[in-house]
Each structure stands twice: as structure tokens, then as C-alpha cells.
């Protein structure tokens, strides 16, 4: 009897585990979001324009969106942040920062429908040149599932950004003039070479031949 009881308990446990896995998989499919992070601009003075895009690719509406934005603690942060939703662009004061993290609640968008996109942009600055790591962003969001409100998160990609030094910026500004000057000098030399050779040919033609 004990043997059969153990078998029944084992079967019930396996069934519960399978149901739990399938439920979790279904939940993930219903809330398929994409979080992409990229750099739109890097200025000569070290300012970097960060862009974070959140796209709802699932079947469910998502709401109460909040971004835990991580930044390089060696960088300075701009005073404003811009939220773009559809044709609307809203500029807000940068929330308080702590330990390389900014909490950004998206209160302007109550619900993000399927295939809709939110863009968050802000400036950050490096006072040194070189290669630097831009950390990932963590997006929290809520959705309705079986008459319950659930909350999940999704990480974005990270980035490496190169800040040019003064010498690199100077070279970049001067290089086009050097190339133009070099091209001009080479063109003059080629033209003079062709003209001299053509003149030598004309002189040889004018000389009287021995047998003519």
C-alpha cells in the first residue's frame, strides 16, 4: 500500500511540475517585450546621447513601466530626460541618482499596446578619453493574467563607447585638409610629368631624321 502511495505522490508531483512549466511558458509568450539600448551621438567634449527603446511584442497590454537605468559612475549626468511615445515628446527633470542608478517611472504612458514603442533619451558625459562601458537597463512592467496582476522584468543590451582624445579630434579635423593638399600636390606633379613627356616627344618629332 505504501508503495502505491509513493507512486501516486510522485505522479501528482510530476503533473504539478509540468503544469507549472507550461503556465510559465505561456506567461512569457504573452509578455514578449524587447528592450534595446544604443548611443545616438558622441560629441567632441565627451557628451553621449543614450537611447533606450521599449517595444511591446506580446499579445497583452503592459503598464506601470519603470526603468532602473544604470550608468557609469565615472560619468556626469545631464539635467533632463526625454520620453518619446508616438508623436509626443516630453522633457522632464532628471530623477535623483544614487550609486550609479536612476529610477525612471513612465507615468506619461498608462498602457503600452502591442507593437507600440517608448523611447527614453538623456545625456551623460565622460571627462576622460578612452573606451567605456555603458551598463544594461532593467525594465519592470505589469500585465494582467488570469484576473491577476503580475510583474516581470527584462534587461537590455550593454554597450561600449569610445571617447576621442584631443589628439584624435585634432587629427580628425586636420586630416581632410592634409588629404586635399596631398591630392592637389600629386595632381600638379602628375600634370607636370605628362606635360614634360609630351614636350620631349614633340622635340623628338621635330628633329631631322638621318634617313628621310
Parse the chain into domains and list their residue ranges.
1-30, 31-164, 165-207
What fold does the segment set 31-164 form as a domain?
Immunoglobulin-like (2.60.40)
Which DSSP string corresponds to 110-122?
SEE-TT-EEEEEE
Q: How confident is the model over 32-79, as pLDDT tens digits?
A: 899 999 999 999 889 999 999 999 998 899 999 999 999 888 899 999
Give the span between the Cα atoms of 14 and 210, in whole angstroms. 111
168-188: pLDDT as tens digits: 555 565 656 556 656 756 777
Q: Tell me which DSSP letter residue 45 carries.
A: T
Number of alpha helices (DSSP H) and beta strands (DSSP E) in the chain? 2, 13
Which residues are within 8 A (CB) of 35 and not within 5 positions of it... i.e. 6 or more apart? 52, 53, 54, 55, 137, 139, 154, 155, 156, 157
Amino acid at each position: 500500500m505504501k508503495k502505491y502511495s509513493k507512486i501516486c505522490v510522485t505522479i501528482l508531483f510530476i503533473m504539478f511540475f509540468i503544469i507549472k512549466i507550461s503556465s510559465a511558458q505561456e506567461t512569457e509568450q504573452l509578455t514578449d517585450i524587447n528592450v534595446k539600448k544604443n548611443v545616438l551621438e558622441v560629441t567632441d567634449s565627451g557628451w553621449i546621447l543614450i537611447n533606450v527603446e521599449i517595444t511591446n511584442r506580446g499579445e497583452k497590454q503592459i503598464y506601470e513601466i519603470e526603468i532602473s537605468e544604470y550608468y557609469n559612475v565615472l560619468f556626469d549626468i545631464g539635467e533632463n530626460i526625454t520620453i518619446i511615445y508616438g508623436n509626443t515628446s516630453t522633457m522632464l527633470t532628471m530623477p535623483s541618482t544614487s550609486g550609479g542608478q536612476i529610477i525612471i517611472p513612465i507615468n506619461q504612458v498608462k498602457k503600452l499596446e502591442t507593437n507600440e514603442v517608448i523611447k527614453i533619451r538623456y545625456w551623460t558625459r565622460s571627462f576622460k578619453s578612452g573606451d567605456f562601458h555603458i551598463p544594461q537597463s532593467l525594465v519592470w512592467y505589469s500585465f494582467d493574467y488570469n484576473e491577476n496582476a503580475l510583474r516581470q522584468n527584462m534587461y537590455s543590451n550593454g554597450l561600449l563607447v569610445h571617447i576621442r582624445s584631443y589628439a584624435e579630434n585634432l587629427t580628425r579635423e586636420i586630416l581632410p585638409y592634409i588629404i586635399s593638399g596631398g591630392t592637389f600636390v600629386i595632381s600638379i606633379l602628375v600634370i607636370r610629368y605628362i606635360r614634360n613627356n609630351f614636350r620631349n616627344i614633340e622635340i623628338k618629332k621635330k628633329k631631322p631624321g638621318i634617313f628621310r
